[in-house]
Structure 1
């Protein structure tokens, strides 16, 4: 039997998880989970190519809770899969109204990859909303893969076979297991912002970027640079051969309605930069 203090801690934790589960259920019902969209652009011509979906929880008491903290809370409450499917349904519903050449990027968690029915569930959502699988990119981090690499490969191969695109997110922020590049059906490497911060003034930073882009090119994997905040950074990633970029230099995350208007303005050439 656990000591009294540990039993109380366990009970308190369970009650807290139950509270979070109830609050999340309410958030789903009342539309408190908001999806914002971070525009993504082509390095070649600055053309808008799509957006990354970023979920936020507008909690009535705690204020705005970001995606990382929200999914951590959902995981402890046993609601991670439900949250992912809710966000995916909302984002795909919004993106279904975009111009057909624009893509949507969705983040995938470790719990998602671990769920044996994840590929089937996501495919069902895509089919139900009549969204072209080729317009959907799934962004996964190394953290999401380390639990069960064989299971991850199986799930991701199935999704790739459906036509979905796969990106290894936050590349350079972790331990960079290059083995993933051999076994995963990747289409993109997404550089962590830490990999582009010093490329303008740091020769070693630039050399590392150049090496990553060369390696990715040899594997027929396109490179996406995130965290682009300065014109000089954009010039550098463009010169080194990155395919796409996103960051505050061009646009900040925006709600669905604002993104739809932004995309229309981009098509007509009336969108402002910044």
Structure 2
């Protein structure tokens, strides 16, 4: 008897398709929400904005964080729709904030690989009534590794619209310094791993000082992530970091919680340059 050569179902493909369908349904039901991690000025402690973070409040009462959510979407081939949904939701919420507050939004490799990304994002910003000058796009090394030249071109189009660009999780990966040469960056966001020991280790503090010196030479602002102790905050303020975020003062907040949090906080009379 001849063997049946029909292709057997790929369980991984089936699982990815099911996940993709579930995520699309979750977006339609409003289960994919955006949280906001407050960002503060290091010198004054004033609230200057927030980073938008996605999460899925799964109907089975399991909260799926942004990293896992986007990994699921990537396997299912729906990163683009998910990214646009998160951007639209975040911008709609941020449009209601005081106009002095900024928002940071993460983008994916799929976003930067899309030739229409800059125009599409600009249209979403305009639809929300949010000023491009108040938006920072955050990118990671993983996002850039596929095609640096294409990424640089897309990011330059955003900069020309007034949007700022930050290199996120700096220090967590390989730290390819070519990124600093080729990309139109305005700021670096230091990974929490670089911040953890700056109040207890002279070596860690020396590394921070070296990064700050390099950033100053390149005219880049530095934002510290993962601040959880007052001693860490004192160190980054003393050494010259521009801003910080972390659980020391606030965990990620829902849109309503952030609006109330912002109402009770002091913030600058004019946005940071």
TM-score relative to the length of structure 2: 0.94
Deviations 1:44-68 (A, max 9, x none): 1000000000100111137111111
Match of 2:260 in 1: 261
**CA deviation after TM superposition for structure 1 residue 109, in Å:** 1.3
Matched, 1:215 2:214: yes
Distance in structure 2 (CA, Å) of the matches to 1:104 and 1:96: 10
**CA deviation after TM superposition for structure 1 residue 30, in Å:** 0.8
Distance in structure 2 (CA, Å) of the matches to 1:260 and 1:238: 26
Match of 1:139 in 2: 138
Distance in structure 1 (CA, Å) of the matches to 2:75 and 2:122: 26
Match of 2:96 in 1: 97
Gaps of 5+ in 2: 268-273
Q: Secondary structure at the match of 1:247?
A: coil
Distance in structure 2 (CA, Å) of the matches to 1:100 and 1:76: 37
Match of 1:238 in 2: 237
**Matches for 1:197-216 after TM superposition, within 5 Å:** 197-216=196-215
**CA deviation after TM superposition for structure 1 residue 11, in Å:** 2.2
Q: Secondary structure at the match of 1:180?
A: helix
Distance in structure 2 (CA, Å) of the matches to 1:174 and 1:79: 26
**CA deviation after TM superposition for structure 1 residue 7, in Å:** 4.9
Deviations 1:78-123 (A, max 9, x none): 1100000000000000000000000010111112111222111111
Higher RCO structure, 1 or 2 (CA under 8 Å, sep 6+): 2
**Which 4+ residue blocks in structure 1 deviate beyond 3 angstroms?**
none
Q: How many residues align?
A: 265
Q: Secondary structure at the match of 1:97?
A: coil
Distance in structure 1 (CA, Å) of the matches to 2:180 and 2:193: 20
**Matches for 1:70-149 after TM superposition, within 5 Å:** 70-149=69-148
**CA deviation after TM superposition for structure 1 residue 73, in Å:** 0.5
Matched, 1:172 2:171: yes
Greater Cα shift, 16-25 or 135-144: 16-25
Match of 2:270 in 1: none
Deviations 1:160-192 (A, max 9, x none): 000001000000000101111111110110000
Match of 1:23 in 2: 22
Distance in structure 1 (CA, Å) of the matches to 2:19 and 2:202: 47
Deviations 1:174-230 (A, max 9, x none): 010111111111011000000000111111110010010111011110000000000
**CA deviation after TM superposition for structure 1 residue 29, in Å:** 1.1
Q: Secondary structure at the match of 2:10?
A: helix
TM-score relative to the length of structure 1: 0.93
Q: CA RMSD in A?
A: 1.7
Match of 1:161 in 2: 160
Q: Secondary structure at the match of 1:83?
A: helix
Gaps of 5+ in 1: 269-274
Distance in structure 2 (CA, Å) of the matches to 1:89 and 1:29: 13
